[in-house]
Structure 1
């Protein structure tokens, strides 16, 4: 067995076809990120409360915890009996003012004819015109007041302010709410990962650094990759807080904890495709091309280290060296 290599090296490799048709993997060392495992929590970019614009009683509730909502979707309906009474009162006043306006219009037309024939003085025509203007303006004022009450009716519909998921309902049907009271809490759908990294790694952490989530954490075969988009300047409890953006986190629970690998400096390592390693009786082997034959050599397996160009990468701690040509079994 070959001499153990203390620092692991990553495999940058070239695939070529051997004379016998087997694929050859040439091992070469390079500097890679020294990944450290930290825990991160799935959090929403922001948690938005949906609030009632009017006071009253909740007469309808359309969502429950965990439901997905879209912007403008009806969350609940608030009813206020006082508004209905005001509407009835205003409707009655509008009918009365409409009748009064019709009567003043008739009086004005009659007075106008009498003044033209000289039966009445012109001052009577001015008085009739004034009465007609007062009646019409009073009718318009009541119609506008009714429109205000009608708008308050429509404001009883509580709409979702953004796309997301309902985290918590604050009320039930029959609850009495005041203007501005929260009805439900909605987490915006654009989820992120919030990392808390020990401060000794703070100097290695910067915006744009790649992060990796193992497939076992997500229930998938392949890992997920993301990037840090914000590093908070304040250290809390000996930890640096950072946010990372990873695609397709919408199916997670808010507050779910995941193990995330981040860069904690650089080191040298060997990484080869996992398909080049075979295990016999609990020992891992690779086949190294020597002259005209392939020799099985035991190796010490490290952890999985997928990269963008080697998604099935496996770290090898010892047993191979730079320049070895591996044959795929």
Structure 2
């Protein structure tokens, strides 16, 4: 303690305390990523709503393109036709090979049958690949969440026509943090790593501590921007404002324990020890402060250093 104390008195001495400034910080998230449509079409189902928690890969909405169904049927018919042609080509090749063994046909006919079978095999492979592309496009009608997080906005509804690349929902992913905007006169007083106090959203909620994680080097419109990390920020809304107390300097004060102050008719008094005994002195008190882990009351006027105050 900055003073010596006994059971009933102590000697006042200057103490240095941290100067705090109350500002408002806005809750932000590390990333806001859009869940985009991968194909063009009509939104047939929206499975999320604003504020809902989603996991990465969860289906956000479903998009349907009627042309894909037609293309898929056409691709299936082409594959079936090529399969039939390949069956005939295989039969023709087998017949030509049998005739060649008996000498009833020439080698040229067998070679032509082989070439025809190879051409149809390549065409079938290409047709199957084209069908797979169409099937994949149909599966991409499901819009997936790009990350774990909370849905901020859903700008579409069922029945909306949407183009590929347009956002279906915006997801706030990553941890939340507070962004502060301070007057530039505090630029030299704040530093990374400093501890701040975040006020509760209600009187019943206890304040919590955070840490200044980053101070941006550019001053914008006379304001210094800083980010505050909080281990458990709770379920705040994005862009919600909350009160934050930050250290902006240190000052020297005189303070006494709360039990040393007696209030009579709205005036605060302190009892001093003197050579003649005790003396009642009127004082003007300030805010409550913590010095070396003990609660004290700042005295603005009425006391001097080395005064011996009686506690009761």
TM-score with structure 2 setting the length: 0.81
Look up the match of 1:292: none
Paired with 2:90 and 2:155, the residues of 1 have a C-alpha distance of 55
1:27-46 alignment runs, 5 A limit:
31-46=16-31
Of residues 305, 311, 316 in structure 1, which corresponds to 2:297? 316
Of residues 210, 214, 221 in structure 2, which corresponds to 1:230? 214
Please tell me whether residue 248 in structure 1 is matched to residue 248 in structure 2. Answer: no
Paired with 2:106 and 2:125, the residues of 1 have a C-alpha distance of 30
Of residues 185, 192, 198 in structure 2, which corresponds to 1:213? 198
Q: Kindly provide the CA deviation profile for residues 273-322 of structure 1, in whole angstroms up to 9, marking residues without a partner as x.
A: 98x7999887889999xxxxxxxx99876545579x84xx6441038989
What stretches of structure 1 of length at least 5 have no aligned partner?
1-10, 19-24, 289-296
CA offset at residue 256 of structure 1? 1.1
CA offset at residue 246 of structure 1? 1.1
SS state of the match for residue 115, structure 1? helix
Look up the match of 1:193: 178
Look up the match of 1:7: none
CA offset at residue 244 of structure 1? 0.9
CA separation of 1:317 and 1:121: change in aligned 2, threshold 3 A: same
Look up the match of 2:275: none
1:42-57 alignment runs, 5 A limit:
42-57=27-42
Please tell me whether residue 139 in structure 1 is matched to residue 139 in structure 2. Answer: no
CA offset at residue 108 of structure 1? 1.2
Q: Kindly provide the CA deviation profile for residues 133-184 of structure 1, in whole angstroms up to 9, marking residues without a partner as x.
A: 1111111111100110111111111111122211111111000001111111
Paired with 1:271 and 1:29, the residues of 2 have a C-alpha distance of 8
CA separation of 1:93 and 1:236: change in aligned 2, threshold 3 A: same
Contact 2:151 2:169 in 1 (8 A): yes
Q: What is the root-mean-square deviation of aligned Cα atoms in Å?
A: 3.7
Paired with 2:132 and 2:306, the residues of 1 have a C-alpha distance of 82
CA offset at residue 247 of structure 1? 2.2
1:1-329 alignment runs, 5 A limit:
31-215=16-200, 217=201, 220-269=204-253, 302-303=286-287, 310=293, 314-318=295-299
Look up the match of 1:294: none
CA separation of 1:201 and 1:279: change in aligned 2, threshold 3 A: same
SS state of the match for residue 152, structure 1? helix
CA separation of 1:233 and 1:132: change in aligned 2, threshold 3 A: same
Contact 2:31 2:174 in 1 (8 A): no
Paired with 2:50 and 2:146, the residues of 1 have a C-alpha distance of 16
What stretches of structure 2 of length at least 5 have no aligned partner?
273-280
Contact 2:257 2:295 in 1 (8 A): yes
SS state of the match for residue 82, structure 1? helix
CA separation of 1:28 and 1:222: change in aligned 2, threshold 3 A: farther
CA offset at residue 109 of structure 1? 1.5
Q: Kindly provide the CA deviation profile for residues 200-254 of structure 1, in whole angstroms up to 9, marking residues without a partner as x.
A: 0001122212211134x45555321111112222222211111111122240111
Paired with 2:261 and 2:33, the residues of 1 have a C-alpha distance of 53
CA offset at residue 326 of structure 1? 10
